[in-house]
Chain A
Amino acid sequence: MSLLEIRNLTLHYRTTNGMVQAVDKVSFSLAKGESMGLVGESGCGKSSVAMSIMKIMPPNAVIIGGEILFKGENILLKDDEEIRRIRWKEISMVFQAAMNALNPVVSVGDQIVEAIQAHDRMSETEAWEEVKELYRLVGLDPGRGKSYPHEYSGGMKQRAIIAMSLACSPDLIIADEPTTALDVIMQDQIIQEIVDLQDRLDMAMIYISHDISVIAETCGKTGVMYAGKIVEYADTDFLFYDTLHPYTKALLSSYPSIKGEVKRLNPIPGEPPNLLDPPVGCRFYPRCPEREGICNSQEPEYLQVKEGHFVACHLVKPT
């Protein structure tokens, strides 16, 4: 049984201008210990999917349909108390610029202890021991637990946040752009650590980013989102070397690399569709270089076209 299975998740946001159809029939599954990347550009819905799994959506979000099965049980049907018990203990999350979420007047160690004690029955001494262990795990000096956030560098704060998210040994960790605010070298170190931890603790991981390079290096599977839908989902290697969806192809050719030949980048002309009133057919139709008539009138189905490789495109038929 997979650890996490999402079936046809559909989420809309209520705004003064109408309903924004932010996530539409998203499905994927994740086994224990597996790592999956969710990549897409701004507004594609990846963060919304992540927030739904932890049920921390903003108040104007409405789940229109679908199921999120975690260990076989539908999270969407659980009440607040049940979710609270799952959060942090079984599923935890590292946000973008989470380091800014640290309370500046409480020592970092105390904040982690607070998180631990909220979920596990532990005395304060035991919790502090745990903090030291976690610090060692993420590469922080265990003696610095009593320092305040402003005494930590950006990279250190982010590591502390990661330590906090690991405090209760969750089965699944969701990392939403965990390194955006850091510089390249720090980013690399943190990512290495996350992957290492994930491996050592046998945690499943969903890594969300707009940077496909990072996902290429860290995740076993990758899902590409566009305008609220998953357009392609496969083992990372296959996604890059046997790319099937036109959007994925276009996206891959718009990232420069420091290795290999310098190729002319191909931008994708146009803009993503307005999700207040999405088009009838394929949402990528207006910008697709390979489009055909049917793409405009009918939404493509999300199908498994090869072993473990899912695509939503009329032009790609199952073999």
Chain B
Amino acid sequence: MRGNDEILVDTKGLTKIYTLKRNIFARAAQFVTAVYDVNFQIKNGEVFGLVGESGSGKTTCGRILSRLEEATGGQIFIEGVDISQLKGKDLRRFRKKVQMIFQDPYESLNPRRTVYDTVVEPLEVQGIGDYEEREYRVWKALKIVELYPPGDYLFRFPHELSGGQRQRVSIARALVLEPDFVIADEPVSMLDASIRAGILNLLLDLRSRLGLTYLFITHDVAVARYMCDRIGVIFKGKLVELGRTERLIAHPYHPYTKALLSAVPIPDPRAKRERFRFEEREVPDHSFDKSCIFLPRCAASGRICRRESPEMVEVEEDHYAACHLSTEM
């Protein structure tokens, strides 16, 4: 049995660089760095949030952790095993441990297959049980995600289900192999507010009841605050701040985190918020080792920011930030 303080997921130097197609006339290939030197750890039973805007690389991290894509550099340890090197049978066994829930409830299910077909597939692929056993597991998975009675839903097609119901089916599919680690990539962004709450609560309940660990990817800070124990803030491929949710939100260090938090609207007409200044400078091609990734937008940069890329520094207990100026004691 794993203890609750043990580290389940550990990424070291996670990097992903895409090479854009070279044509005969280009002198050199063009590169897009989606993720650069990302390091974080997720403890067993924790909900770890990766918060960033679109294009920040958060989805790429999720895809790499689930082996939908290969990292260009770095190592990813899950339960002590470097999963970036897995192949063949080992890879298939890994698939039982790590599952994923996607953003779009309309595209997450094959429109030509029934709920049963969709949820049973992982079992068929992994060769688990006989048909009766599989039928039971599917039924139970649907019950767990509160699609009750499951018999009503087993043979429906996706177009007969609402967005919230589809997302529950996706969750059931993710759970049917009894994984330890679930990567949720914006699972509620496309759902209505009142449905969102239901799915979020479901995910939290499942975490407690089933002992799951989550990587929760989102751009919505308010949702991240509700769901996550710890949060990592990612900007253009780099982790800029990392820490326990309440502390990070109450006392952010990195200018991007401050700007992000100050931009979140609050559902209260009487709440006032102080907005953080934001620049929009043009800066020549950024080199990840030479200067701070946030430089073009930072209102408080100094000379060192142009010369050196800041490292993640522990500013408080279990709270890290990568900024030269804010982390000066």
- A20 CB → nearest B CB, Å: 16
Q: In the bound complex, how far is the Cα of B268 from the Cα of A265, in angstroms?
A: 16
Contact A258 B225, beta carbon cutoff 8 Å: yes
A298 within 8 A of B: no
Contact B222 A254, beta carbon cutoff 8 Å: no
- B181 CB → nearest A CB, Å: 24
Find the residue from A191, A213, A214, A251 having the highest chain B CB count within 10 A.
A213
Contact B226 A256, beta carbon cutoff 8 Å: yes
A252 within 8 A of B: yes
6 tightest Cβ-Cβ pairs between the two chains A and B: A267-B198, A265-B197, A183-B53, A188-B263, A213-B265, A267-B197
Contact B265 A254, beta carbon cutoff 8 Å: no
Contact B193 A259, beta carbon cutoff 8 Å: no
Contact A251 B260, beta carbon cutoff 8 Å: no
Give which listed residue, B54, B197, B200, B275, contacts A188 with CB less than 8 A: B275
- Residues facing B in A229-262 (CB within 8 A) are 236-237, 240-241, 250-252, 254-260, 262
Interface size on A, residues (CB 8 A): 39
Contact A210 B193, beta carbon cutoff 8 Å: yes
Sample (18) of A-B pairs whose CB atoms are under 8 Å apart: A184-B220, A184-B221, A187-B263, A188-B264, A188-B265, A210-B193, A212-B193, A217-B269, A240-B269, A240-B270, A241-B269, A251-B193, A257-B225, A258-B249, A259-B266, A259-B271, A267-B198, A268-B197
With both beta carbons as reference points, the residue of chain B lying nearest to A217 in the complex is identified as B265
B155 within 8 A of A: no
Complex interface bits, B185-206 against A, C-beta within 8 A gives 1, otherwise 0: 0000000111111101100000
Contact B193 A257, beta carbon cutoff 8 Å: no
Q: In the bound complex, how far is the Cα of B264 from the Cα of A188, in angstroms?
A: 7
With both beta carbons as reference points, the residue of chain A lying nearest to B163 in the complex is identified as A42
- Residues facing B in A68-127 (CB within 8 A) are none
Complex interface bits, B256-279 against A, C-beta within 8 A gives 1, otherwise 0: 000111111111111100010010
Contact B195 A255, beta carbon cutoff 8 Å: no
Contact A255 B264, beta carbon cutoff 8 Å: no
Find the residue from B200, B260, B268 having the highest chain A CB count within 10 A.
B268
B223 within 8 A of A: yes
**Interfacial chain B residues near A189, Cβ < 8 Å:** 263, 278
B162 within 8 A of A: yes
**Interfacial chain B residues near A271, Cβ < 8 Å:** 162
With both beta carbons as reference points, the residue of chain B lying nearest to A250 in the complex is identified as B194
Interface residues on B, range: 35 or more
**Interfacial chain B residues near A210, Cβ < 8 Å:** 192-193
- B89 CB → nearest A CB, Å: 41
Contact A213 B267, beta carbon cutoff 8 Å: yes
B134 within 8 A of A: no
Give which listed residue, A184, A188, A216, A269, contacts B219 with CB less than 8 A: A184
Q: In the bound complex, how far is the Cα of B197 from the Cα of A70, in angstroms?
A: 39
A301 within 8 A of B: no
Find the residue from A236, A256, A264 having the highest chain B CB count within 10 A.
A256
Q: In the bound complex, how far is the Cα of B271 from the Cα of A260, in angstroms?
A: 10
A-binding residues in B (CB < 8 A): 53-54, 162, 192-198, 200-201, 219-223, 225-226, 249, 259-271, 275, 278
With both beta carbons as reference points, the residue of chain B lying nearest to A42 in the complex is identified as B192
| A255 touching B269 in the complex, CB below 8 Å, given contacts A183-B219, A267-B197 | no
Q: In the bound complex, how far is the Cα of B249 from the Cα of A126, in angstroms?
A: 49
With both beta carbons as reference points, the residue of chain A lying nearest to B198 in the complex is identified as A267
With both beta carbons as reference points, the residue of chain A lying nearest to B297 in the complex is identified as A185
With both beta carbons as reference points, the residue of chain A lying nearest to B146 in the complex is identified as A269
- B74 CB → nearest A CB, Å: 26
Give which listed residue, A183, A212, A217, A262, contacts B54 with CB less than 8 A: A183
**Interfacial chain A residues near B194, Cβ < 8 Å:** 41, 250-251, 254, 267-268
A297 within 8 A of B: no
Q: In the bound complex, how far is the Cα of B195 from the Cα of A42, in angstroms?
A: 11
Contact A240 B268, beta carbon cutoff 8 Å: yes
A292 within 8 A of B: no
- B258 CB → nearest A CB, Å: 11
Q: In the bound complex, how far is the Cα of B53 from the Cα of A188, in angstroms?
A: 13
A199 within 8 A of B: no
A266 within 8 A of B: yes
- A188 CB → nearest B CB, Å: 4
Q: In the bound complex, how far is the Cα of B220 from the Cα of A211, in angstroms?
A: 12
Contact B222 A256, beta carbon cutoff 8 Å: yes
| A255 touching B221 in the complex, CB below 8 Å, given contacts A188-B265, A212-B193 | no
- Residues facing B in A137-166 (CB within 8 A) are none
- A143 CB → nearest B CB, Å: 14
9 additional contacts (CB under 8 A) given A41-B194, A184-B53: A42-B192, A183-B54, A185-B53, A188-B265, A210-B193, A212-B267, A255-B193, A262-B225, A271-B162
Q: In the bound complex, how far is the Cα of B261 from the Cα of A240, in angstroms?
A: 22
Give which listed residue, A183, A184, A252, A267, contacts B267 with CB less than 8 A: A252
**Interfacial chain A residues near B278, Cβ < 8 Å:** 185, 189
Find the residue from A188, A250, A260 having the highest chain B CB count within 10 A.
A188
Complex interface bits, A34-47 against B, C-beta within 8 A gives 1, otherwise 0: 00000001100000
**Interfacial chain B residues near A214, Cβ < 8 Å:** 265
With both beta carbons as reference points, the residue of chain B lying nearest to A267 in the complex is identified as B198
Contact A236 B269, beta carbon cutoff 8 Å: yes
Q: In the bound complex, how far is the Cα of B17 from the Cα of A205, in angstroms?
A: 45
Give which listed residue, A237, A254, A259, contacts B269 with CB less than 8 A: A237
